[in-house]
Amino acid sequence: MTLEGAIPLPLPLAEAGISYIFPFGGPRPGSFGLGAGIRSLGYLVGTSFGGYAWPELLAEWRRGSLVATTRLGGGAVAGYSDSGFSFLAAPVLIPDLSLWWSPGRRGFLILGGGVFGKVSFPGGESALGGLSDSLIIYAGVKAAFGR
């Protein structure tokens, strides 16, 4: 008798993004903001490297040093890999929900995590390197500029 199965291992991904958030309610605790931006993920697996970028809309709610963020991206995905550059106007949505905590008064270093996924509609299966429609749980450290 053989026992086979997959053991999930953490895969480090580099994330970069730029966005602008329009504040509603000012800088006081409990403030809310809506914004738009571009988000990207990069990977290195063995000798293969690449990355993807997509536009997104986001909403952010602040309560003291806690920040809850929800994002909805997709519609178009740009990719780069060993085999070159590709652009796909993809029928795919990339939802994300996360919770972050910033120690200290300035909030430059931010710790947190969340869950994001990919939802493909017909024709969007090949977006994000064929990543299947699934949810991915993540933890991370961010640096924020312009706060």
The per-residue pLDDT for range 71-103, each reduced to its tens digit, is 999 888 888 877 778 777 778 888 999 999 988
- Whats the size of the chain, residue-wise? 147
Query: Kind of pairing, strands 84-88 and 77-81?
Result: antiparallel
Residue 24 counted as domain residue:
yes
- Looking at the domain assignment, is residue 138 inside a domain? yes
Tell me, yes or no, whether 2 lies in a domain: no
60-74 pLDDT, tens digit per residue, is: 998 888 889 999 998
Residue 53 lies in a domain: yes
We report the CATH number of the domain holding residue 84 as: 2.40.160
- Predicted TM-score (pTM) of the model is 0.75
Q: Is 19:38 a contact under the CB 8 Å cutoff?
A: yes
Residue 83 belongs to what domain range? 14-143
Could you give the number of structural domains in the chain?
1
Mean pLDDT of 54-65: 90
What is the Cα Rg of the chain in Å?
17
* 3-state DSSP assignment of residue 33: strand
Whether residue 95 is contained in a domain is answered as yes
Q: Is residue 40 part of a domain?
A: yes
Residue 126 lies in a domain: yes
Question: Can you give the pLDDT at residue 71?
Answer: 96
